[in-house]
Structures are given as C-alpha cells and as structure tokens.
Amino acid sequence: MNKKKNIFKFTILLFCFVLLIIVDLNTGHIKIPFQEILKFFSFSSNVSDDFFILIKEFRVPRVAVAILSGAALSVAGLMMQTLFRNPLAGPYVLGVSSGASLGVAIVVLGASFIFDQETAHSNYLILIAAGLGAAAVLALILSVSLRLKDILSILIIGILIAGVVNSIVSILQYYANDINVKSYVVWTMGSLNSVSFKDITILTPLLLISIAVIFGMSKSLNLILPGENFAKSMGVNLTKLRILIFIFVSILTGAVTAFCGPIGFIGVAAPHVARWFFNTSNHFILIPASVLLGAVFMLCGDLFSHIISSNGILPINAITSILGAPFIVWIVIQNKRTIV
Amino acid sequence: MTEQILHIENLLIGYKRPFTKVFNANVYRGNLICIIGRNGTGKSTLLNTLAGIIKPLGGNIFYEDKNFAKLNLREKSTLISYVPSKQEYLSNLSVYDLVALGRSPYTNIFDRKNSKDKIIIDQALRNFNLEELRDKALYEISDGERQRSMICRAIVQETPLILLDEPTAFLDYYAKQKLLLDLSNLVKENNKCILFSSHDIELSLKYADTVWLFHNKEIVSIPVDTLKESDLLEKIMGFNFK
C-alpha cells in the first residue's frame, strides 16, 4: 500500500524532473526550438551546427551542473540533519561551506600577490582551494568531535567556526583591491554558467560516487534516528559513521561550492520537502527523493534566473533563497512541528 | 538443567567513579530478572554496561563463553537487544520502520528483508497490538505506544538476551500487566533471558523469577520467593506486600 504510493510519488517527481530539464535546456539568451533539442538527444545528424554547439557547450553543462549541485547539496543537507538531529542543519552550519569560501577568498583576494591574475582565477586553483578550505574546517571539527560525545556541542562549534571564517573573509576583502573583491563577491552569488564541459567530467563521477556511497550508508543512517545509544546497541560504529558523513559532506559541499559558489537553502529545503512529501524518515526513500528534489529545485532556480531578467542572468544564490524560504515556512506551518 | 547465558565477574559499573561494589552473577536462560532500586542507584548504568553502550570500570562479562569486551558491535547486536528508558528522539519514522529496524543485524547493506523477516515483524506487530499504528509516525503516537513499539523492535531482533530499562514506565495498568505477562511467556517459551528495571514492584514481582536489588552500593541477586518472605523490600523501598 505504502509502496504503491511511493512509486506514484517518485513517478511524479521524475516527470517534473524530466520536464524541467527540457524546459531549462530550452531557456536562455537564445530560445532553442524543442524539435532541435529532441533531435540533439536522438543523435540525429540534422541539428543545425549553431544549435548543436549551443546545446553541447552551454546548455547541457548548465543543466547538468544544476542537477548535480542540487542533488549534492540536498543529500549533504539531509545527512547533516540526520546526524545532528536538527532540521536547520545544512552544509552551512558545520562551517564546511564557509571553509570552502575561505579557501576561495584566499586565492581570489590574496593570491594575486603571488600568482598573476590569470592563474589566481583559474577554475582548478579555486577547486583545490575550496576543497582544502572545506577539509581544514572539517579536520578541526573532526578533532573536536572525537573529544566531545555530544553532537549538539559540535553543532555549536561548527557555527562558531563559520563565524570566525566569515570574519577572516571580511578582513581579506578589506585589504584586497576592487577588482578582486568584485570577482569574489560575484563568486559568492553563485553561478551555474562558469562550469565547462570538461569540468563536468570531473564533477559528475565525484558527486555520483559520493551519493552512491551515502546511499549505501542508509541503513546506519536509519539506525541513528531513534538515538545514538540505540544505534550503538544495534551494531552501528558511531565514530566511523560520523567520520564518513563528515568526509562525504565536505566532498559534496566543497566540490559544488568550488564550481558554483556557496549556494544556500537547497541543502535545508530539499530534504524537508522530501520528508514531507514521502512522510517518512527512511533514508532508503529520502536519499533518492532528496536527489530528485534538490535537482528539481535547482533547475527551477536556474529557470527563474533566466526568465526574470531578459538581458543577463540573476545570481542563483538569491533565487534559491527567495524561492526556498517561503517553501520551508509553508511546510513548517503545515506540519506544525518539524522533526528530522 | 538450564543453560547459563551470562557470567558476570567482578563487574564494576559507573562513570569514572564506581556506583556499586563489585558484582558477580550467573544468569540463566528462561529467567525473567527484575532490577529494583531507588532512583540514582545505578540501574540504568548497569543495563547500559551490559548492553555495551558504556564500558565497565572493571571486571568481565562473559556471554556464554565469549568475552564481551572482545565481541564487535555487530555480534553484540545479535546477542543482546536493548530498549533505553526513554526514546531519545522522536522522528518521522513509522512504527513499522522502527520495528523493522530490529531485523537490521541480519539484513544486508540495503536492509533487504526476506519473507522470514517480514513474518517475524508482522507477528510481533500483532502481538503488541501495533497493527493499526504501523504507518503512523513515531511523533504522532503516545508515549506508551512508542514504548510498546520499541519493545516490539527488541523482540523482533530475536536475541537470546533482552535488556529493558523501565519498560512499564509509560504504560497504563492494563498494558503493564499484559507486557509483563508477555515477557514472562517469551522467556519460558523461547528459552530467552530478559532483564528489566522497574518501579512497579508489586506487578514486577508477580512475573519475575529473580530480583537484582540495588542496596547499600551492592547489587544482590535474590530469587523472588525468597525476597517475598524477607523484609528487605520494606527496608529499602518502603514497600509492603500486605
């Protein structure tokens, strides 16, 4: 009975997902006729060259990044909400996003003293910097979490670290020159367009493998829901689980943040909607649901960012917040109480 | 001849400082053991220690002939199931999902349940009158119903040793009686051993075989019949049978 309902719900989500992909491929500076998109995907040879390049080099990467980043942030958020048993947790809260931002800030704002402008703004340097920044914050939190048993204390420390990191970024901004500050600020607004087809070939396996591994941890994630002592008595190695969650959250968050900037709200909103839509906390359902919903939200955000302004693209970060916040408010009011 | 299931040797329980003097006991299958003592004497600590959630300060626990300290978590979870006194957190998990978690020590990484697992779960849900609640989320049901779900999960885990911390706490009088009767039947029919702590002394003594009494920093194991004849309970708990 429940199974049938869930299959039905997944079908709805999949339908929205596919629909949004097609519509989003079609949307942009230049409208591409649907026939051309269909032709492109049926590998038909009579797609006009202009459209072929436009779809392959610009639209497909953009849509793929929207799907991947939405899915990754949403799964990262879900894991943190489960681990911290806090519906407000997300990649931001542990300071992982801030750590990645700090890495990028150091490179973009500070490194032009060491490298030339070109090198300092290259995608790979930013990726490495974001990864290192996220990993540094992670290592700090991990070392604390080995001493502290209480997960709430770790959450508080995560918030404090995020605060300190943001202050350092402010100081860096104060001393940096105008051009670098501008490019950093633009980066913080988030963008799905700065990712090339080649970047996607790195991003896709990295994120998909991480999500697959996390899906493999569903059983343990379900077992920690009733409590940590319970999980322990059911044979869950809590320390190992925590370390794994931290590592994969920082991979997911670090990679997405490096390529698209710190994108907010998806990580909090999508798992909530998944929990509400499927009315469950079972991770075997929640993880695929979060993947789909995260992707759907991001595609919606991308769509809006193109539709609203006819000349140019609105920052995706602003869009996800504007669309995401009312959604969460609505769900919280509907449920009257929020439970992980 | 009953089989020995637990051998407790010079056990010291507590957090940093021991709560009680060393404790020695042999526990046999087919026994329902009730742990009685004043608040804060260490009943939950003892159960936590036996469940492997906290480490003992000293001494050894042997499960059959295996040293407890050397078993890994997964092995432990097939030998001992444990229900904490209060559920730590509410969640959106359904009653069915919670009870089904009891099978997780036996399932694969994707928690795939075979038909035998499903039969065990369905039967337990029926025994605990939880069938109507099976799709309700844990935050939607009452404390007593949640308690019943947790105990049902422990039964589904099918371990020879079951530890229950105040299982009767949130239940109404009827449910308390039913639960204790069920536990005592379970112990006898399936040759298991159940240890539970309780403040419902009168009811517990009706069904338990043995009592572990926390008194003067000591844990004493006394058969129920002997205890009923002594005045120990009146002295410690101010409890009078008459």
Mean pLDDT of chain A: 84
Q: Is the pLDDT of residue A286 over 90?
A: yes
Mean pLDDT, rounded, for B72-77: 87
Q: B19 near B215, Cβ under 8 Å?
A: no
CB pairs under 8 A between A and B: 99
pLDDT of residue A220: 94
A236–B137 C-beta distance less than 8 A:
no
Distance CA A6, CA A285 (A): 8
Percent of chain B with pLDDT over 70: 97
A225–B89 C-beta distance less than 8 A:
yes
Considering CB atoms only, which of A229, A233, A339 is closest to B92? A339
Say which DSSP state A189 is in: T
Distance CA A38, CA A320 (A): 28
* Closest Cα in chain B to A218: B110
More confident residue, A180 or A236: A236
ipTM over 0.90: no
Distance CA A131, CA B200 (A): 57
pLDDT tens by residue, B187-228: 998 899 999 999 998 899 999 999 999 988 889 899 998 888
pLDDT of residue B1: 46
Asked if B53 is an interface residue toward chain A (Cβ–Cβ < 8 A), one would say yes
B107–A222 C-beta distance less than 8 A:
no
Measured in angstroms, the CA of A218 and the nearest CA of chain B are apart by 7
Render the burial of A231-247: b for 16+ CB within 10 Å, e for the rest: bbbbbbebeebbebbbe
A281–B97 C-beta distance less than 8 A:
yes
- HSE (side-chain half, CA atoms, 13 Å) at B81: 23
Residue B94's DSSP bridge partners are B137
pLDDT of residue A336: 59
Distance CA A193, CA A66 (A): 9
Rounded to 10°, the helix A283-307/A197-216 angle is 150
Say which DSSP state B166 is in: S
Distance CA B28, CA B4 (A): 4
B-chain CB neighbours of A280 within 8 Å are 92-94, 97, 137
Count the Cβ atoms, other than its own, within 10 Å of residue B67.
12
* CATH fold of the domain at B4-237: Rossmann fold (3.40.50)
Asked if B15 is an interface residue toward chain A (Cβ–Cβ < 8 A), one would say no
* Closest Cα in chain B to A232: B53
B51–A339 C-beta distance less than 8 A:
no
Measured in angstroms, the CA of A211 and the nearest CA of chain B are apart by 14
- HSE (side-chain half, CA atoms, 13 Å) at A323: 23
pLDDT of residue A116: 63
Asked if A223 is an interface residue toward chain B (Cβ–Cβ < 8 A), one would say yes
A-chain CB neighbours of B89 within 8 Å are 85, 225-227, 340
Question: Domain ranges in chain B?
Answer: 4-237
Q: Which helix (H) or strand (E) holds B62?
A: strand B58-63
The CATH code that applies to domain A2-335 is 1.10.3470.10
More confident residue, A321 or A88: A321
N-terminal to C-terminal alpha carbon distance within chain B? 34
pLDDT tens by residue, A237-256: 988 998 898 889 888 888 88
- Angular region, B118: left φ>0, alpha ψ -120 to 50, beta rest: alpha
Interface test with B, best of A281, A283, A335 (most B CBs within 10 A): A281
Give which of A182, A161, A181, A183 is closest to A173, Cα–Cα. A181
Mean pLDDT, rounded, for A201-216: 93
Distance CA B230, CA B71 (A): 39
Tokens of A305: 């960012």
Q: Is the pLDDT of residue B51 over 50?
A: yes
